[in-house]
Structure formats: structure tokens, C-alpha cells
Amino acid sequence: MNTTRSESLFERSKISIPGGVNSPVRAFRSVGGVPRFIRRGEGSRVIDEDGNSYIDYVCSWGPLLLGHRFPDVIEALRGVLDIGSSFGAPTEREVELAELIREAVPSMEMVRLVNSGTEATMSALRVARGFTGRDLTIKFEGCYHGHVDSLLVKAGSGMATLAITDTVGVPAGFAATTIALPFNSISAVEEAFAKHRDQIAAVIIEPVAGNMGCVPPLPGYLQALRDITARHGALLIFDEVMTGFRVALGGAQSLYGIHPDLSTFGKVIGGGLPIAAYGGRADIMSRVAPLGPIYQAGTLSGNPMAVAAGLAMLRHLKTHPEIYAQLESRAAALCANPPAGVTVNRVGSMFTMFFTDGPVTGWDTAKKSDTARYAKYFHWMLEHGVYLAPSQFEAAFLSAAHSEEDIAHTAAAMRAFFEQ
């Protein structure tokens, strides 16, 4: 496989951009080698600057549930080009998008649009603190909620990949407002509430963790969080930036039948454009400015391009519910019969093959994975035209554009790796 153009672009990039990338996980640091510079995407595939074509299981880290250049999204974007790229004033499409979100996710009684998942979780946390008058937050080890100062404690995603436990640059006082507990342990949460009575504003969780690799909640776990938070007057925040509109149209909360107080969405919601949302109970969201004193704003929030793409995406998902059944069966086929020494976790179209005997139920068990073996697997797959996340601790994503042939090709490459 010829990668000379990616190599030279990476060398050039490292001079101007830290690590040569605009987000750490793109740098291939934990698996080694040269990141592929992508020239274009089409359906289930990305094509790099050297002309190599790969079946893409990164899907821009989640957003591309309908694959690259989905026609409805492209057409919607073309339409906006004739109108203007930003107004800083309300538009009809924003109302339509908010209504569509409310309809798909009933707990979202009111919703604010922002520009990234990080902004959504940061804002939801501020609202939770403003509403409850409390400062502390419980998060879970291995969960990632964007690069919000106080949430970069024992975080997943690139922090897990690069073994950075607590980031430099966050004042100790901010980090001290976060209590990090093991995922899937109810007793740890009970103990924290007993110890910090009336001080905990919110519990924030990825209802299906994806940022330490895919780790589903154990039966009863999310309901227990719902009960404990309600009992203690704390808010339950579901960070559905990854799971929203992916594991089901109504997100993980519809899959598990839980009604959180606040939720955050991103990734799929924008069809590949930068947009995210937070919202939930109307009595809470009514405290946000200009209705109330909790301030949150954004110059490009509700941007017409991003809103149009998101609307096209969500409308298509709403009118084609059969997509979720197709994703389920194709992902199940891909994840069937894992070889010895490999544990597969999957919820719908997000999944991870952990190179450990398992079970993997949280960060302590995820981190037992053999990351050197994952790196070998990753490079083997890449050489065989399959583009996976360059880290053991990430979820793989299937899109509706992935065909039976894509799945068969991927499964054959996987089998060949484990046979040799």
C-alpha cells in the first residue's frame, strides 16, 4: 500500500499543527504509523490522498450514520448556499429541528442548539449547577464528555488512549468539583451521595459508554441512577452525544426506558456538520437566558448549514425506521463468533472488540486489553482496506451505507488476521 502522500503531508502538518492533527486521537499515537490523510468519502468508504480506498468504521467518530455524502444531506447543504451561511438571528429551520428532536426524544421538552458536544455537556452542567444551586458532579471512569475543564478527570477517548489521567491546565479547584466513580457500580454512587449529601448537582453518564470502547450498562444500572438522583434532588444527565439517534431514534434513553432530566446530543444530529444540542425538562431549561439567569450563548449556534444538514439527517431517520433493523443485523453478523481472547461488546451499530478475555464492564476491565495486539490488528485491517479507530478504547460505527459485501470483506480480513 502506497502512503507517500500521507507521509509527506503528515511531516508538513507537524510543523504547523500540534502533533500534525486537530484532535489527538487522529494521530495514530497508540498504534504507530502514519495517519491517512483523507481526500474524500463516498458511502461506506474513505479514499486517502494516495488513492487507497477503505471501508470506514470510524464514520467521522460517529456522526455519519447514513454514510459519507448522503444525498439528502448534500442536497440540503446546496440549498443553503443560495440563502446565506449565517445570520445570528432566528430561522424557521431551527424551530423545525428543535421540534423534530422533541418528537424523537420525549424527555427533551426544550432544547438549545450549540456547536459541539463539548459545548453541550459544558452547558448542561452549568444549567444543572444553576438549577440545583450545588457544585459537585459525579462522572464515571472511562466516560468522555468532551474537553470541558471539570470533566477531564479519568476521562475516556484520547485521554484513555494516551494514558493521560488528569489533564494539565485544569485548575485543581475545577477538578475538585468532579467525583469520578467506576462505571456500572451502583454502590459507589450510593456511597458518594451519602458522603456529599446535598452537594451533588448532577450525575452525568454516557448511557452506553463508547469512549473506553463500547461498554453497555448492566441490567438495572441506569434505573438505579435514576432512582438515586431523584431521591437526592440531583439531576441525571444522559450524555447521548454518541448514542443519540444511533442506538435508536430516541437514543439510549428510549432503548433502556429511562427519562433523564437533561440530555446532550451531537455527532449524528448534524449529519457531519458541527452542531450539538442540550435540553430536557422545561422547568430546568426555563432558567437559561434570556428566560432566566443561567447564561449560555453562541455566535454560530443554530448555524443554517449545520441545521439544514441535521434536519435532512433526522427527517430521513424518522421516515426510514427500518434502517435501525438493518444496522442491528449487519452489526450482529460482524460481531458474531469472536475468537478466543477477544471480547465483543455491542449495542446496535456501535461495538468494540476488546483484546481481553472479558467481560468488559468498565474502565478497570477495559484497560486489561492487550493494546499491542490491537495495534497489530489495526494495521492488518488497514492494509486490507478496513479503516478502524486507531485505538483500542474507541467504538466502531456501522453506517446504513455499509453493504453486505462490506461486512463480508471485513469479516474475511478479521478471520485472516486471527488465523495467521
Ligand X SMILES: *Cc1c(COP(=O)(O)O)cnc(C)c1O
**CB nearer ligand X, residue 242 or residue 262:** 242
27 binds ligand X (CB under 6 A): no
**CB nearer ligand X, residue 47 or residue 162:** 162
Q: If you search the block for the grid coordinates 458522603, which residue do you land on?
A: 195
Q: Closest Cα partner for 115 from 289, 304, 303, 315?
A: 303
266 binds ligand X (CB under 6 A): yes
Smallest gap, in angstroms, from Cβ of residue 278 to ligand X?
Answer: 11
Question: Please, are residues 262 and 279 in contact by the beta-carbon 8 Å criterion?
Answer: yes
Please report the sign of the dihedral spanned by the C-alpha atoms of residue 203, residue 24, residue 398, residue 322.
Answer: positive
Q: If you search the block for the grid coordinates 490491537, which residue do you land on?
A: 374
Q: Is 368 a catalytic residue?
A: no
Query: Pick from 52, 121, 132, 343: which binds ligand X (CB under 6 A)?
Result: 121
137 binds ligand X (CB under 6 A): no
396 binds ligand X (CB under 6 A): no
| 46 alpha-carbon distance from chain centroid | 20
122 binds ligand X (CB under 6 A): no
118 binds ligand X (CB under 6 A): yes
56 binds ligand X (CB under 6 A): no
Q: Is 227 a catalytic residue?
A: no
Pairing of strands 53-56, 386-387: parallel
Question: Please, are residues 244 and 276 in contact by the beta-carbon 8 Å criterion?
Answer: no
Question: Please, are residues 333 and 407 in contact by the beta-carbon 8 Å criterion?
Answer: yes
The rounded distance, in Å, linking the Cα atoms of 291 and 196 is 31
**CB nearer ligand X, residue 6 or residue 161:** 161
Q: Is 50 a catalytic residue?
A: no
The rounded distance, in Å, linking the Cα atoms of 381 and 388 is 8
Per-residue contact track with ligand X, 196 to 235, x per CB under 6 A?
Answer: ----------x---xx------------------------
Catalytic: which of 57, 144, 256, 324?
Answer: 144
Smallest gap, in angstroms, from Cβ of residue 175 to ligand X?
Answer: 18
Catalytic: which of 57, 256, 261, 267?
Answer: 267
146 binds ligand X (CB under 6 A): yes
Per-residue contact track with ligand X, 75 to 94, x per CB under 6 A?
Answer: --------------------
Smallest gap, in angstroms, from Cβ of residue 369 to ligand X?
Answer: 19
DSSP notation for 30-71: TT-S-PPPEEEEEBTEEEETT--EEEESSGGGTT-TT-BT-H
228's grid cell: 438515586
275 binds ligand X (CB under 6 A): no
**CB nearer ligand X, residue 60 or residue 403:** 60
Question: Please, are residues 115 and 264 in contact by the beta-carbon 8 Å criterion?
Answer: no
What amino acid is encoded at 211 in this protein? Answer: N
* Interface residues toward ligand X, by CB under 6 A: 116-118, 121, 144-146, 206, 210-211, 239, 241-242, 266, 276
Question: Which residues are marked as active site?
Answer: 144, 239, 267
